[in-house]
Structure 1
Amino acid sequence: MSNNLKLGVEVVSAHDLLPRDGDGTVTTFVELSFDGQRHRTAVRDHDLNPYFNERFFFAVSDPSSLPSLVLDATVFHLHRPSLSRSFLGRVRIPASSVPASPSDSPVLYYPLEKRGGGRGGGVFSRIRGELGLRVFLTDDPSVQPSGQNLRQDQFADIPPEPDMSTFFRLFRSQQRQQQRSDQAPPSRVMRMFSSLSSRQPAEFQIKETSPALGGGRIVRGRVVVPGDKPGAFDLVEKMEFLFVRVVKARDLPAKDVTGSLDPYVEVIIGNYRGTTWHFEKNQNPEWNEVFAFPRDRLQASAVAVEVRDRDLVRDDYVGAVQFELNDVPLRAPPDGPLAPEWHRLEDKRGGRDVGELMLAVWFGTQADECFPSALHADTAAIDPATANTHARGKVYQAPTMWYLRVNVMDAHDVYMPQGDRSPEVFVRGRVGNQMLRTKMGRPGAAGIFKWNEVHFFVVAEPFDDELTVSVEDQAGPDQDRVIGYVNIPIATVDKRPDDRRTWPKWLDLRKPTLIDVDRLREDKFATKLQLQISLDGGYHVVDELIHYSSDFRPSSKHLWNAKKPIGMLELGILSAVGLQPMKTARDGRPTCDAFCVAKYGRKWVRTRTVVDSLSPKFNEQYAWDVYDHATVITVAVFDNSQVLTGSSTRDTAIGKVRIRLSTIETGRVYAHAYPLLVLHPSSGVKKMGELHLVVRFTATSFASMLHAYVRPVLPKMHYTHPITQLQQENLRLQAVQILATRLGLAEPPLRREVVEYMSEAQAHMWSMRRSKAHFYRLTEVFGGAVAAAKWLRDICRWANPVTTVLVHLLLVILVCFPHLILPTVLLHLLAVGLWNFWYRARYPPHMNTKISHVHGVSPDDLDEEFDLFPTTQRPEVVRSRYDRLRFIAGMMQKTLGEFATQGERVQSLLSWRDPRATAIFLVFCLVTAFVFLVVPFKVLVIWLGFYWMRHPRLRHKMPSVPTNFFRRLPARTDSLL
């Protein structure tokens, strides 16, 4: 009879282990020994409370000897890179006490013992903690014993003692792994000054790529082109195209019975076809269109350009001209554009009396100036009108926006009808679809009402709108009677570029009648309104969230802090991989028509639409001037819903990427694959594909870039005449609407949903998920203080005797020499910052699904987050209360995020997330430490106290240098989804 009895051991976790590494952690594994068999768990790096969750089965050779057998579970610490091990404690469990069934075996936590028995916990003990095990017996024949046993001196996955080259290779591998996850080693000291970055699944992390850029490769952050210098398009993969420019035709013959001709041109090369517009009854048409065909996909040796006549039944053949591809010239910048030439057309019989066609044919790359406006081969299946309107790339310039400041002061000679009720007079202002109203005016003497309220509107150049100001009387609910109004062209309003004072003006109001009789009679008792109006250009018109802003410059150019750019930002949009199908094509296949939009400053760019491809290749490069590197560039991928279904559908967002310039090194080329993450109302977070980008930030003036850290972030008027938080939010939404309207008038248009998605137009809405994310960010910020308290508690408990003795000695030294306290702290910060330099993030930060709290979000929270505003799921009364609650909660959410942002900026001082800011702070620590060493401590304390209590006249209204420096530090808002 066969023996199926086996001992099952589940190693769950260990708790409260004694630190052994220099960073205050321990690298552990558990070794199990039973009946001459040995198994070992995987290694858990840098964790005092590791989780193993591994199960092993030992074969019982003789069931009769089971009561005399013992299970040994030993916890070891692995020393890297020597790969030696040290004893942390063990657990011995007699087999006679093991339950006979898995269902009767709970998880038990056993205290670790010494080798000779007995628990640790003495003053100088090196044994501490407990091990969670679940042990049981089973005779299930389907359960097989675990794999190959380990001998006493053998480990399955630990290599032998390495040499120095292996050590450096292991060190660099570990360092790259830490850099990819943007996480410093979880040392106790670092947890006191920086929060632990939350790990997220590998599929949601960015990945480093090695594309062939400009014919070269990326070597140590730079593009190296063998035998040549990088060109203007060195951040994208070089692609060659066959360009065919169809300019015009002349002397075409008539084909219709009526003697007319409706000509169009068709470019044919293999299976590719490109068609121009057709002209009605025109024998000398002008098209001036360019077609681009990828050279690596050409399946023919010649290109034919045919002129045809559009008919209802069958298009007539007019003539054609053909070119051999071997004879087509190659053109590359800085060569000038190829001049078009006249070519005589040939009919089907070979005759040449069918007119002439002006053409230019050449081979070029995406650096060609015709590339953005060309019709590409993948758009051949689209109607030419649709391809011209919605499939081409474009560079947009956002309009310059100003604040229209309207100070409603008072009104005189306001005629009110006689009656028993007291008048309720207010002033309403309207610019376009923006409308604001004052409170009820305070009645004074006869016909005098006072308000003295300031309201803001957003207007954009050119100023074509009018400001309509009306004085109205609220006669009853929804019964507002206009007493008088005035129209003020915004172009006539004086511009106020700085905080200089503007003088009020008296304006005569017109009555709301077809003929103003009082106006015609020049009645001197007409109602007059005193207004103080100005176009304020000293503000930064916020068209996006301040944390994601790409431009802090005011509208007035002569107030710009940096007259010249401090650097250049270059972006290469290579490709997108593995996109999810967004719609169904005409033949029933799932497809996607993707294009990218990038926004930085006032320059928006849109790539061409790659039709019917789930892995589109763009290979387009753009550049921006940088005036402030504490800014963010946003790149998003959209599905073009206009090329197949028409303009009534919305372009669907596939995902976006945000990169803060201050977190990347100057002159270095970053090539990464960014996951495109979208939050769906039903399925939660979903990866829609990957976007391959190449980014390079080049500093033209390093001194100006360092000087930017101490400049005020926003213009002066934001501090001398601040705008309330509620007004800023309303103005931001109005600015987004104006921007969407203006960019929607371009060709091709940027649709409203694209602009709103890029500008975070719905970020102010209430979201339970986002509020939880801000809360956990806040708790993680204070995690350093909690870790410090635990560290002090461990000192008091003599958890590590050596450390406790050293702290006692340090305490005695600092008490005896108090002037060494501040230098010691600053030098300690300097040492931590220098230590973190080796573990600084190599990758730009990206959206983190863990800190965005998208994994634990409930369907009800998602339904609430994606609900419309106002909601339509409740009755009228409940709906109004629910909307009010969401609005209040949204403001609380934003305040909570502000607190978290300030704490994260403190943490970024030593994390090297902004390399220049960390370097400046470390230099400041070093210099200040020496100052405290030289200058007597008491003098410094008195000077700091006097400075802190200085007279208000000695205080400046502008923020101080440390405040400006602090405002430019990066926070983890860039990683929020």
Structure 2
Amino acid sequence: MDPHVTKNQQDDYKLKDTHPKLGERWPHGGMRGGGGWISSDRATSTYDLVEQMHYLYVRVVKAKDLPPNTVTGSCDPYVVVKLGNFKGKTQRFEKKTNPQWNEVFAFSKEKSHSSDLEVFVRDRELVGRDDIIGKVTFDMNEVPTRVPPDSPLAPQWYRLEHRKGETKVKGEIMLAVWLGTQADEAFPEAWHSDAASVEGEGIFSVRSKVYVSPKLWYLRVNVIEAHDVVSHDKSQHPQVSVKAQVGNQMLKTKLCPTRTTSPFWNEDLIFVAAEPFEEDLVLQVENHFSASKHELVGKKSLPLTIFEKRLDHRPVHSRWFNLEKFGFGALEGDKRHEHKFSTRIHLRACLEGAYHVLDESTMYVSDTRPTARQLWKHPIGILEVGILSAQGLQPMKKPKDGQGTTDAYCVAKYGQKWVRTRTILESFSPKWNEQYTWEVYDPCTVITLGVFDNCHLGGSEKSAAARDSRIGKVRIRLSTLETDRIYTHSYPLLVLQSSGLKKMGELQLAFRFTCLSLANIIYLYGHPLLPKMHYLHPFTVSQLDFLRYQAMNIVAVRLARAEPPLRKEVVEYMLDVDSHMWSMRRSKANFFRIVSLFSGVISTSKWLGEVCHWKNPATSILVHVLLFILICYPELILPTIFLYMFLIGLWNFRFRPKHPPHMDIKLSCAEAVHPDEMDEEFDTFPTSKLPDVVRMRYDRLRSVAGRIQTVVGDIATQGERFHALLGWRDPRASSLFIVFCLCAALALYVTPFKIVVLVAGLYLLRHPRFRSKMPSVSSNFFRRLPARADSML
């Protein structure tokens, strides 16, 4: 691929407006007969952010009095539902004349033009073709229509007819047949004609599902001291440390600096644990003879349920625990046995739910609530997302009959709720038209949507070992959205590969952020973004990195245990697990973000230079007049500055962004990236390209450079938030700021300048007794402002 992106390609990478047919009237309880629709006076469907898709639903409940086979003397029944060229088949029962299936089949009306629906009851034969016990036929023009919130259609008993339709046969089947849309409750669990070729275990992986992330807690273990630590070597006192393990997480205290039988540490070890608490806290006290030789002095396994859950900063009581010693004894020969030992360890441990676990390892926070439900507040809004379709997807699987295929599905993640659409088979333009809703507790959060290729349709061991391929990802920050407005856009799906930037298609979305209380949103802008404990007892940078990584692993493992599983490669991509790795491209992008922030300063200096050189005499004269006024009336300086910012904010309102932000290839430095830099970015960590010594140095360089990259990005974020004050990227924040500027200008006009300076000086020099550990209102407001990091690949 040519590393230089042309202008036409840049236009192709931009956001596009779409005009889907949303919110069509869909009558509830209406019936469709030969004369068309019989309208109803009830309200329309809540599925107003997607295009209506019509389905024929068939619920096969059960059968009774089925005749036994004349040859085998038994009946192994199953049901085949046929509409045109599509066939769906139920589970088969052995030797059962009264089977119960309770399965639902959904046939797309767009892809089927048959006027008859046929339901066959078959009996499996050991040799030859399965015998048809009987059938039931429905005329499509007589099928009733149901749209929620109507109650489900009651199933009915139908007498089986001979396969030639001439006479009735013995046996009855209970069925419910109706026309509906994707808003029907039966839609997620139904067998779909779009996936008719999938059989066996693979059928579960094509259905739409909703997942919930596990509730994560911080486990804080304060290892204080130990008593009566005795070494096997009686000639010297032990020098010990404590190793703590929770699942795959392992942390160690430092060595006690002195050799003693009563070592003291007072060191905090912090882990991530998920409900239900399946792992125990395992403590091991080790005596170190040398750097490579140590012995186990004692061990203790503690279930996490014995620790109290701390919701605030109140102190936690410490406890003593007796350790268990493992060694070799004389009983039962030389077999290993366990015996109690007098070594004790002093701990202070608790589960902290007043923290936020930093969105399970991602820097794009989608949930700012603490873990403990007792600390939750009421939602301030509703986010509704309609996942409509995708266009122009690239073939992701190897060519089949000379042509590649793609089996695409979409995943959306916001807060603890993950959703997964159904998989559309062998289509480069899949249409999902599924709508989902989230409660919003803070507008300064991000929803992430990703498109993947399903590689687990076969249900075989080879299919289970495959990895779902990434097609692309979209992020949307809620604070950049206007309330109660429906956005309909087509987002480019961009991915970086070792060969460079590639567009994999477009994702068409419709979404709306509904405000429940504007007062509550304004109230949030002046309060901390994260819970109180995050500021009173902050973690170190190294602790945060460790906790992010462990939280991501826990979420990936738990979601992979669902049915169908949300696999680890999907979770890692959605949570940007590799966002902290070193990349020359990202470092350049963050550097240019900082450089762009100083463009305003450079422009101002050029303007002052033009004023000094009288390139525009009128402007120079006005500046001289303003200078004399400010010198004569210095109290007008501050109100003039605030009034000037107020006027700039009003002027910039005309140029406010019309669309939500999206992936920006220029901002990400992905338009002209060097192939060698891409090879470095996609290199393994640790690298596999260099000898051992150079590998160690190279990995160390990447680790340090990754931290520098993060710091540079954070600096750029702060500057971009200043620009966002008057840039209307967050319309509510800009409105609040320009109103504040107006009020401040008016207040400063009527307040003597000396009083303003005195009050400001006294406030800045106030005694620590009058200071709070919590961030100020202005700091909270500033932290909530959007930055351009949301638009980076």
Q: Is the TM value for this pair above 0.5?
A: yes
Q: Secondary structure at the match of 1:249?
A: strand
What is residue 467 of structure 2 aligned with on the other side?
Answer: 650
List per-residue Cα deviations over 1:117-148 (Å, max 9, x = no partner).
Answer: xxxxxxxxxxxxxxxxxxxxxxxxxxxxxxxx
User: Which residue of 100, 109, 112 maps to 1:286?
Assistant: 100
Instruction: Say yes or no: does 1:804 pair with 2:616.
Output: no
Pair 545,519 (structure 1): closer, same or farther in 2 beyond 3 Å? closer
- Residue identity matched to 1:326: N
What is residue 497 of structure 1 aligned with on the other side?
Answer: 311
Pair 515,907 (structure 1): closer, same or farther in 2 beyond 3 Å? farther
What is residue 928 of structure 1 aligned with on the other side?
Answer: 744
What is residue 820 of structure 1 aligned with on the other side?
Answer: 636
Q: Secondary structure at the match of 2:145?
A: coil
What is residue 480 of structure 2 aligned with on the other side?
Answer: 663
Q: Secondary structure at the match of 1:296?
A: coil
Q: Work out the CA distance in 2 between the residues paired with 1:762 and 1:257.
A: 64
Instruction: Say yes or no: does 1:208 pair with 2:17.
Output: yes
Q: Work out the CA distance in 2 between the residues paired with 1:945 and 1:869.
A: 52
What is residue 144 of structure 1 aligned with on the other side?
Answer: none
Instruction: Say yes or no: does 1:304 pair with 2:124.
Output: no
Q: Secondary structure at the match of 2:525?
A: helix
Residues 27-176 of structure 1: pairs in structure 2 closer than 5 A: none
- Residue identity matched to 2:491: Y
What is residue 635 of structure 1 aligned with on the other side?
Answer: 449
Instruction: Say yes or no: does 1:393 pair with 2:202.
Output: no
Contact kept, 8 Å, 1:642 with 1:649, in 2: the verdict is yes
TM-score, normalised with respect to structure 2: 0.93
List per-residue Cα deviations over 1:2-59 (Å, max 9, x = no partner).
Answer: xxxxxxxxxxxxxxxxxxxxxxxxxxxxxxxxxxxxxxxxxxxxxxxxxxxxxxxxxx
Pair 477,281 (structure 1): closer, same or farther in 2 beyond 3 Å? farther
- Residue identity matched to 1:393: S
Instruction: Say yes or no: does 1:622 pair with 2:439.
Output: no
What is residue 30 of structure 2 aligned with on the other side?
Answer: none
What is residue 416 of structure 1 aligned with on the other side?
Answer: 231
User: Which residue of 577, 580, 595 maps to 1:761?
Assistant: 577
Structure 1 residue 513: deviation in Å?
3.7
Residues 188-227 of structure 1: pairs in structure 2 closer than 5 A: 201-215=10-24
Contact kept, 8 Å, 2:326 with 2:339, in 1: the verdict is no
What is residue 856 of structure 1 aligned with on the other side?
Answer: 672
Contact kept, 8 Å, 1:273 with 1:377, in 2: the verdict is yes
Structure 1 residue 256: deviation in Å?
8.2
Q: Secondary structure at the match of 1:867?
A: coil
Structure 1 residue 294: deviation in Å?
1.5
Moved more, 339-348 or 621-630: 339-348
Q: Work out the CA distance in 1 between the residues paired with 2:429 and 2:546.
A: 39
Q: Secondary structure at the match of 2:326?
A: coil
Contact kept, 8 Å, 1:443 with 1:450, in 2: the verdict is no
What is residue 531 of structure 1 aligned with on the other side?
Answer: 347
What is residue 882 of structure 1 aligned with on the other side?
Answer: 698
User: Which residue of 541, 559, 568 maps to 1:743?
Assistant: 559
- Residue identity matched to 1:261: C
What is residue 768 of structure 2 aligned with on the other side?
Answer: 952
Q: Work out the CA distance in 2 between the residues paired with 1:577 and 1:509.
A: 62
Q: Work out the CA distance in 1 between the residues paired with 2:393 and 2:439.
A: 31
Contact kept, 8 Å, 1:908 with 1:914, in 2: the verdict is yes
Q: Work out the CA distance in 1 between the residues paired with 2:721 and 2:183.
A: 40
List per-residue Cα deviations over 1:848-884 (Å, max 9, x = no partner).
Answer: 0001011222122112211222222222222222222
- Residue identity matched to 1:203: D
Pair 230,652 (structure 1): closer, same or farther in 2 beyond 3 Å? same
Contact kept, 8 Å, 1:277 with 1:384, in 2: the verdict is no
User: Which residue of 483, 490, 494 maps to 1:673?
Assistant: 490
Structure 1 residue 500: deviation in Å?
0.9
Structure 1 residue 357: deviation in Å?
1.7
- Residue identity matched to 2:269: H
- Residue identity matched to 1:286: Q
- Residue identity matched to 1:212: K
Q: Work out the CA distance in 1 between the residues paired with 2:423 and 2:131.
A: 31
Contact kept, 8 Å, 1:347 with 1:354, in 2: the verdict is no
Q: Work out the CA distance in 2 between the residues paired with 1:626 and 1:438.
A: 40
What is residue 253 of structure 1 aligned with on the other side?
Answer: 67
Residues 550-561 of structure 1: pairs in structure 2 closer than 5 A: 550-560=366-376
Q: Work out the CA distance in 1 between the residues paired with 2:475 and 2:495.
A: 14
Contact kept, 8 Å, 2:359 with 2:367, in 1: the verdict is no
- Residue identity matched to 1:295: K
What is residue 196 of structure 2 aligned with on the other side?
Answer: 380
Structure 1 residue 478: deviation in Å?
4.9
Pair 228,246 (structure 1): closer, same or farther in 2 beyond 3 Å? closer
List per-residue Cα deviations over 1:376-430 (Å, max 9, x = no partner).
Answer: 111101114311x200001111111100111111111111233788854221111
User: Which residue of 238, 258, 265 maps to 1:443?
Assistant: 258
Pair 200,380 (structure 1): closer, same or farther in 2 beyond 3 Å? closer
Structure 1 residue 254: deviation in Å?
3.2
Contact kept, 8 Å, 2:361 with 2:549, in 1: the verdict is no
- Residue identity matched to 1:647: A
Moved more, 549-558 or 350-359: 350-359
Contact kept, 8 Å, 1:200 with 1:850, in 2: the verdict is no
Q: Secondary structure at the match of 1:942?
A: helix
Q: Secondary structure at the match of 2:214?
A: coil
Moved more, 584-593 or 708-717: 584-593
What is residue 49 of structure 2 aligned with on the other side?
Answer: 235
Contact kept, 8 Å, 1:430 with 1:468, in 2: the verdict is yes
**RMSD, aligned α-carbons:** 2.4
Pair 423,882 (structure 1): closer, same or farther in 2 beyond 3 Å? farther
List per-residue Cα deviations over 1:722-776 (Å, max 9, x = no partner).
Answer: 0111111111111111111111111111011111111111111111111111111
What is residue 35 of structure 2 aligned with on the other side?
Answer: none
Structure 1 residue 928: deviation in Å?
0.4
Contact kept, 8 Å, 2:412 with 2:448, in 1: the verdict is yes
Residues 575-586 of structure 1: pairs in structure 2 closer than 5 A: 575-584=389-398, 586=400
Structure 1 residue 793: deviation in Å?
2.0
User: Which residue of 405, 412, 420 maps to 1:606?
Assistant: 420
Gaps of 5+ in 1: 1-197, 218-225
Structure 1 residue 611: deviation in Å?
0.8
Q: Work out the CA distance in 2 between the residues paired with 1:788 and 1:412.
A: 68
User: Which residue of 260, 270, 278 maps to 1:464?
Assistant: 278
Structure 1 residue 679: deviation in Å?
0.7
Instruction: Say yes or no: does 1:918 pair with 2:734.
Output: yes
Contact kept, 8 Å, 2:230 with 2:238, in 1: the verdict is no
Q: Work out the CA distance in 2 between the residues paired with 1:512 and 1:501.
A: 34
Aligned residue pair count: 766
Q: Work out the CA distance in 2 between the residues paired with 1:703 and 1:200.
A: 44
Pair 488,850 (structure 1): closer, same or farther in 2 beyond 3 Å? same
Query: Equivalent pairs: percent with the same residue?
Result: 53
Q: Secondary structure at the match of 1:884?
A: helix
- Residue identity matched to 2:346: Q
Contact kept, 8 Å, 2:686 with 2:695, in 1: the verdict is yes
Contact kept, 8 Å, 2:64 with 2:98, in 1: the verdict is yes
Structure 1 residue 356: deviation in Å?
2.1
Q: Secondary structure at the match of 1:908?
A: helix
Q: Work out the CA distance in 2 between the residues paired with 1:471 and 1:896.
A: 41
Pair 888,897 (structure 1): closer, same or farther in 2 beyond 3 Å? same
Pair 878,260 (structure 1): closer, same or farther in 2 beyond 3 Å? farther
Q: Work out the CA distance in 1 between the residues paired with 2:467 and 2:694.
A: 31
Pair 930,339 (structure 1): closer, same or farther in 2 beyond 3 Å? same
Gaps of 5+ in 2: 1-6, 27-39
Q: Work out the CA distance in 2 between the residues paired with 1:228 and 1:913.
A: 39
Moved more, 664-673 or 449-458: 449-458
Q: Work out the CA distance in 1 between the residues paired with 2:130 and 2:519.
A: 66
Q: Secondary structure at the match of 2:324?
A: coil
What is residue 791 of structure 1 aligned with on the other side?
Answer: 607
Moved more, 336-345 or 416-425: 416-425
Q: Work out the CA distance in 1 between the residues paired with 2:258 and 2:224.
A: 13
Q: Work out the CA distance in 2 between the residues paired with 1:641 and 1:239.
A: 26
Structure 1 residue 317: deviation in Å?
2.3
Structure 1 residue 594: deviation in Å?
0.6
Contact kept, 8 Å, 2:230 with 2:237, in 1: the verdict is no
Structure 1 residue 258: deviation in Å?
4.0
Contact kept, 8 Å, 2:382 with 2:437, in 1: the verdict is yes
What is residue 143 of structure 1 aligned with on the other side?
Answer: none
